[in-house]
Amino acid sequence: MAELLHRLGTLAARRAWTVIVAWVVILGVVGGGFAIGFTGLSSSFDIPGTASGDVIAELQDELPDFSGASGAVVFRTSDGSALTDAQKSDITALVDSAGDLPDVARVTDPFEAQTQLDTQRQQVVDGRQQLADARAQAESGQAQLDAGVAQLDQGQQQLDTGRAQLDAAPLPDAQKQAQLDELDQQQAQLDQQRAALAQQQTQLTDGLAEISAQETQLAEGAELLSFADAIRLVSDDGSTAIVNVSFGEPRLELSESSKEAVVEHFTADPVDGVDVAFNTEISQGVPEILGVGEAIGVAVAAIVLIVVLGSLLAASFPIITALVGVAIGAMATLSFSGLVQMASVTPILGVMLGLAVGIDYALFILYRHRRQLLQGADVVESIGLANGTAGNAVVFAGMTVIVALLALNITGIPFLGLMGTAGAVSVFVAVLIAVSLTPALLGLAGSRILSRRARSRIAAAGEATHPRRAARAGAPVADAAQHPRRAARTGAVATVPTAKPMSTLRAVVTMVVAIAALLIVAIPALSMRLGLPDGGSEAEDSTAYQAFTWTEDAFGAGANAPLLITAALPAGTADADVQGLQLEVARELFALDDVAAVAPVAVSDDRALAAFQVIPQEGPNAVSTEQLVRDLRALPPVDGDIELGVAGAAAINIDISEGLADVLPIYLVVVVGLSFLIMVMVFRSLLVPLIATAGFVLSLFATYGAVTAVFQWGWLGEVLGVHNAGPILSFLPVILVGILFGLAMDYQLFLATGMREAWAHGASPRLAVAQGFRAGRTVVSAAAIIMIAVFSGFIASDSVIIKSMGLGLALGVLFDAFVVRMLLMPAVMHVLGGSAWWLPRWLDRVVPNVDVEGSALERRHPAHH
SS3 at position 247: strand
Amino acid identity at 649 = A
Q: How far apart (Å, rounded) are the C-alpha atoms in residues 829 and 820? A: 12
Taking alpha carbons only, the member of 630, 628, 603, 624 closest to residue 614 is 628
Give the CA dihedral 684, 685, 688, 694, nearest 10 degrees.
Answer: 110
Residue 291 has a pLDDT of: 66
- The secondary structure of 304-347 as a DSSP string is HHHHHH--HHHHHHHHHHHHHHHHHHHHHHHTTTTTS--BTTHH
Q: How far apart (Å, rounded) are the C-alpha atoms in residues 383 and 182? A: 140
Decide if 586 contacts 227 (C-beta within 8 A).
Answer: yes
Question: Who's near 756: CB < 8 A, 6+ residues apart?
Answer: 683, 684, 685, 688, 768, 772, 837
- The secondary structure of 527-538 as a DSSP string is G--EE---GGGS
Question: Who's near 819: CB < 8 A, 6+ residues apart?
Answer: 514, 517, 518, 699, 702
Residue 1 CB coordination number (10 Å): 15
Q: How far apart (Å, rounded) are the C-alpha atoms in residues 49 and 43? A: 20
Amino acid identity at 229 = D
* DSSP strand pairing (104-107 vs 70-77): unpaired
- Name the helix (H) or strand (E) containing 813: helix 800-813
Burial class (CB in 10 A: 0-12, 13-18, 19+), 486: buried
The secondary structure of residue 1, as a DSSP letter, is: -
Q: How far apart (Å, rounded) are the C-alpha atoms in residues 331 and 325? A: 10
Burial class (CB in 10 A: 0-12, 13-18, 19+), 516: exposed
Q: How far apart (Å, rounded) are the C-alpha atoms in residues 189 and 732? A: 93
Residue 726 has a pLDDT of: 84
Q: How far apart (Å, rounded) are the C-alpha atoms in residues 555 and 547? A: 12
Q: How far apart (Å, rounded) are the C-alpha atoms in residues 408 and 412? A: 8
Decide if 262 contacts 98 (C-beta within 8 A).
Answer: yes
Q: How far apart (Å, rounded) are the C-alpha atoms in residues 310 and 281? A: 50
Low-confidence ranges of the chain (pLDDT < 50): 465-497, 865
Burial class (CB in 10 A: 0-12, 13-18, 19+), 695: buried
Give the CA dihedral 232, 236, 240, 243, nearest 10 degrees.
Answer: 20
Rg over CA atoms, the chain: 40
Helix axes of 312-334 and 346-374: crossing angle, nearest 10 degrees? 150
Q: How far apart (Å, rounded) are the C-alpha atoms in residues 699 and 17? A: 43
pTM score: 0.80
User: How many CA atoms lie less than 13 Å away from 700 in the CB half-sphere?
Assistant: 26
In whole angstroms, how far apart are CA 778 and each of 228, 376, 818? Answer: 66, 21, 12
Taking alpha carbons only, the member of 366, 350, 481 closest to residue 428 is 350
Q: How far apart (Å, rounded) are the C-alpha atoms in residues 405 and 420? A: 5
Q: How far apart (Å, rounded) are the C-alpha atoms in residues 821 and 740? A: 13
Residue 187 CB coordination number (10 Å): 15
Residue 484 has a pLDDT of: 37
* DSSP strand pairing (240-247 vs 609-616): unpaired
Residue 22 has a pLDDT of: 95
Contacts 24+ apart (CB under 8 A), 181-185: 183/159
* Backbone phi and psi for residue 68, each to the nearest 5 degrees, phi listed first: -85, 175
Decide if 388 contacts 3 (C-beta within 8 A).
Answer: yes
Residue 478 has a pLDDT of: 38
Give the CA dihedral 854, 813, 503, 763, nearest 10 degrees.
Answer: 0
In whole angstroms, how far apart are CA 727 and each of 397, 531, 560, 647? Answer: 33, 5, 16, 20
Q: How far apart (Å, rounded) are the C-alpha atoms in residues 522 and 698? A: 8
In whole angstroms, how far apart are CA 427 and each of 81, 379, 417? Answer: 55, 27, 15
> Alpha helix locations (H) across 81-172?
85-97, 110-168
- The secondary structure of 794-812 as a DSSP string is GGG-SSHHHHHHHHHHHHH
Question: Left (φ > 0), alpha (ψ -120 to 50) or beta: where does 376 sit?
Answer: left
The secondary structure of residue 190, as a DSSP letter, is: H
Q: How far apart (Å, rounded) are the C-alpha atoms in residues 535 and 520? A: 32
SS3 at position 244: strand
Q: How far apart (Å, rounded) are the C-alpha atoms in residues 83 and 87? A: 6
